[in-house]
Amino acid sequence: MEQRYVRGALIVFEGLDRSGKTTQVNRLLQDLEGTKERYPYRGMRFPDRTPANPINIEICDYLSKKKELPAREAHLLFTKQRQNQKDEMERFLQNGTTLVVDRYSHSGAAYSAAKGLPLDWCMAQEEGLPKPDLVIFLDLFADIAKNRSGFGEERFEEEPFQKRVYEQYMQLQDETWLRVNASKTEEEIAAEVRQAVLRVIEECREKPISHFGD
């Protein structure tokens, strides 16, 4: 008998710093809790800042400006963290678990390209990683983001840099992206996100996982 292919979806949130990603990720996770028998899920975030291994610690030191790194080296460090999670992510997806991820490969490429690295080279380092089925881009301009609380404390949190990140993000969009106007209310955004996520979870149940570089 032919086996039915049922897998989870890879859902990724992207956007500038202070665009409301983490709030929306948490809301979506709460929403999915109500339907977890039907749609099992798991939340993840990149960078992973838990001090579980030397890579995570080095990324934290870099982001808090305790440590300087050449752009390429920094890029490869973030990529390595994702590559180390690849097998586990694939296992969850194959088991039918939807992954809801706060930042992923497109953050890696957009932030590094904003420092001057070639965007193609940045994305090439992501090859082999599972490709998101849906990228929810919370679309907020840098000059609005800077007025949200907390902007400016960490590396990258300055307006000219954020504008360059935005431009790079715009070049990375493809048919898997949903651009959501992040200046709408939290409720409105959450409703738009929920609708798109449930549609994509259903759509990709029968499809094999795709990968960057396929």
Interface ranges with ligand 2DT (CB under 6 A): 17, 46-47, 63, 78, 103, 107-108, 111, 156
Max Cα–Cα distance, the chain, nearest Å: 58
**Which residue, 63 or 191, has its beta carbon nearer to ligand 2DT?**
63
* 177 half-sphere exposure, CB direction, 13 A CA radius: 15
CA 195, 197, 202: angle at the middle one, nearest 5? 100
Measured from the CB of residue 21, what is the shortest distance to ligand 2DT in angstroms? 7
| Nearest to ligand 2DT of 39, 46 (CB atom) | 46
Shortest Å distance, C-beta 185 to ligand 2DT: 22
Sequence-separated (6 or more) residues with CB below 8 Å from residue 33: none
Q: Please, what is the minimum distance in Å from the beta carbon of residue 197 to ligand 2DT? A: 19
- Least gap, CB of 20 to ligand 2DT (angstroms): 11
User: Measured from the CB atom, is 156 or 212 closer to ligand 2DT?
Assistant: 156
The whole-angstrom separation of Cα 130 and Cα 90 is 7
Amino acid at 17: D
- The separation between the first and the last C-alpha atoms of the chain, rounded to the nearest angstrom, is 29
Residue carrying the six token digits 């929920």:
194
CB 78 → ligand 2DT: shortest distance, Å?
3
Q: Strand 177-181 vs strand 41-45: parallel, antiparallel, or unpaired? A: unpaired
Q: Which is nearer to ligand 2DT, 63 or 198 (CB)?
A: 63
Nearer to ligand 2DT, 138 or 201 (CB): 138
